Amino acid sequence: MHDPIGVPACFTSSERPVDDSSIMTRSGQSIQISVYQTKIVGQCRLITITWCKNLLLHGLSVSVEGPDGESQYCCKVELKPWSFWRKQGSKKFIVDNKAVDVVWDLKAAKFNGETQPQSDYYVAVVCDKEVALLVGDMKKDAYRRTSCRPSLIEPILVARKEHVFGKKKYSSRIKFEERGTFHEITIECSSADGVNSKMEIIIDGQIAINVKHLQWKFRGKESIFVNKTRVEVYWDVHDWLFSPGLRNALFVFNPTSTSLSAVLSNETEAENSGSSREDYTSNGSTGFCFVLYAWKVG
Contact criterion met (CB below 8 Å) for 197 and 211: no
In a domain, 18, yes or no: yes
- Candidates 295, 87, 55, 30; CA nearest to 189 is 295
In a domain, 186, yes or no: yes
- Candidates 160, 111, 200; CA nearest to 292 is 160
Residues 202 and 122 in one domain: no
Residues 115 and 234 in one domain: no
Give 60-84 pLDDT, tens digit per residue.
999 998 877 766 788 888 776 655 5
Q: Is 238 helix (H, G, I), strand (E, B) or coil?
A: helix
Q: Is the dihedral of CA 108, 173, 102, 15 positive or negative?
A: positive
Helices (H) and strands (E) in the chain, counts: 5, 18
In a domain, 3, yes or no: no
CA distance 279 to 274: 11
Residues 137 and 278 in one domain: no
Element (H, E) at 50: strand 43-53
Residues 200 and 65 in one domain: no
CATH number at residue 180: 2.40.128.180
Centroid of chain to Cα 245:
25
In a domain, 210, yes or no: yes
In a domain, 4, yes or no: no
Residues 182 and 206 in one domain: yes
Contact criterion met (CB below 8 Å) for 91 and 63: no
Contact criterion met (CB below 8 Å) for 100 and 64: yes
pLDDT of residue 69: 73
CA distance 24 to 11: 8
pLDDT of residue 203: 96
Residues 171 and 287 in one domain: yes
Specify the number of domains making up the chain.
2
pLDDT of residue 275: 41
User: Which range of residues forms the domain containing residue 138?
Assistant: 9-158
Q: How many residues does the chain have?
A: 298
Could you say which of 99, 129, 158 is where a domain stops?
158
Give 100-140 pLDDT, tens digit per residue.
999 999 989 998 888 889 999 999 999 999 999 999 999 99
Residues 57 and 174 in one domain: no
Could you say which of 112, 138, 158 is where a domain stops?
158
In a domain, 2, yes or no: no
pTM of the predicted model as reported, rounded to 2 decimal places = 0.78
Residues 140 and 66 in one domain: yes
Mean pLDDT of the chain: 80
Residues 36 and 143 in one domain: yes
Mean pLDDT by 10 residues, the chain (298 residues): 41 39 50 93 92 82 83 77 70 90 92 88 96 96 95 92 89 82 92 74 96 92 92 94 86 79 46 41 64 88
Contact criterion met (CB below 8 Å) for 246 and 234: no
